[in-house]
Amino acid sequence: MNYASKMTSDVKEGPVITLSNGLSVPILGIGTSPVGGYSHEAMVCALKECGVRHIDTARLYKCEDLVAKSVKESGVARKELFYTSKAWPTQFGYDEVKKTLKKSLKDLDVEYVDLYLLHWPICPSGTKNPKELIAESWQALEECYQQGLCKSIGVSNFEEQHLNDLKETWTVVPHMNQIELHVFNYPKKLIEFCENLGIKITAYSPLAKGKALIHPDVLKIAEEHKCTPSQLLNKWITQKGIITIPKSTKPDRVKENAKIVDITLTPDNVAKLDDISNHEMFSVYVVTQQNIDEWGASLK
């Protein structure tokens, strides 16, 4: 499948992906995961100097209020930005998801988010019917979507079975599935499954926590294109028509990640990078039931 054929372009925002409901999503975003902490300087740099317009955050990250301060200092208008946030599994449930979304809106100081996700398909300990809990949480998101509190809705870390379960009750097909995606973890079958349903993909941890930056094939191809390994890895993702949300706390790294537009990988380059996970497949994010419960306990 030619994922790149799904990509359109916008002069002001740069390359974008169009969701099934017609909403445009900047293909390059900036992540705010708690790994390494939040950097106000890096966020302002991304927005003000690099033209990044897609911000990915979550209730779990506990930085939505900090994002609001960074956006205010950057001077970038709300209408130019695309905000993604997420509800953690301990915040699942029909009423709780709605409350959680409203807390995100308050902390981000916005009237709506552009995309809101169910963060993980692992429900809290003691959940009697996980499938039912996720279904009612999705129903809440559908209603928030209809009310305009979020311009699109989706899931994160959902595999085929989770989506098939949700499919039994959804009335709105998820617009997005945000997944761990890098050269060591390239779930091609899941991506194709989502594409066939009209679900777009966002890749988090595109550099595999730095592990992909030193792979021999990555270094060799980066040298060929006279770009850095991080630029190559992000381009490998966006050239497939998939959104990438690299996170960095260093302004120089943020600038580096933003300079991927002029790189075009050859079919051989893409095939070589695609093949890495066939021989060296691993995940850099393993979330357990204990993580769901313990991390969720710290949320308000």
Residues assigned a catalytic role: 61
Contact 145, 98 (CB under 8 A): no
- Return phi, psi of residue 218, to 5°: -65, -45
Tokens of 195: 């594409």
Pick from 179, 144, 147, 145: nearest CA to 160: 179
Contact 295, 87 (CB under 8 A): no
Residue with tokens 């902390």: 107
28 CB-contact burial (10 Å; exposed 0-12 / middle 13-18 / buried 19+):
buried
Contact 52, 28 (CB under 8 A): yes
- Cα 78 to its chain centre, rounded Å, is 19
Alpha carbon separation from 235 to 101, 217, 219, 226 (Å, rounded):
32, 15, 14, 13
The H or E element that residue 69 is part of is helix 64-74
Q: Which residues of 63-86 are buried (b: 16+ CB within 10 A; e: fewer)?
A: bbebbbebbeebebeeeebbbbbb
